[in-house]
Amino acid sequence: MRIHLTGVFVDDQQKALRFYTETLGFQVKHNIPMGEHAWITVVSEEAPEGTELLLEPDEHPAVRPFKTALMEDGIPGASFAVDDIEAEHERLIAKDVRFVQPPTDYGTVICAVFDDTCGNLIQISQEKKKQPQQGGT
């Protein structure tokens, strides 16, 4: 079993599509019109056959209060892995991405959190390389 699809609820699919592709650098996997909305998924350019991220409309009555509560409490709606968080942070800052938490060291991982402009906080994280244990007697 593997994860094939996960999603984030967005307040505007077209705005989200621009942000997730032009700013973050994901590529469109599917963009299928479905009446007022579309089935839009994006994937990492590094893993085009990997997990898809669905940019799902947030119009269900339960979704917006949930998203608002997460935003107010500073809880990310999704987390993406990066190899070099400092470089990614600088790249996104240069694209005017608003970070609510700069890269912060949590021991085994370094995380930063930004606003995706579509009603979500998104976390990026870099796992730290394990240090070799010092030899003892």
The mean pLDDT value for 100-104 works out to 98
Non-local CB neighbours of 10 within 8 Å, separated by 6+ positions:
16, 55, 56, 57, 58, 116, 118, 119, 120
Domain locations along the chain: 5-127
Supply the CATH classification number for the domain 5-127: 3.10.180.10
**Confidence at 129, pLDDT banded by 50, 70, 90:** confident
Spatial strand order of the sheet with 99-105 comes to: 78-81, 121-127, 109-115, 99-105
pTM over cut 0.85: yes
Contact present, 130 and 112 (Cβ < 8 Å): no
**Confidence at 135, pLDDT banded by 50, 70, 90:** low
Task: For 34-75, write each residue's pLDDT tens digit.
Answer: 999 999 999 999 999 999 999 999 999 999 999 999 999 999
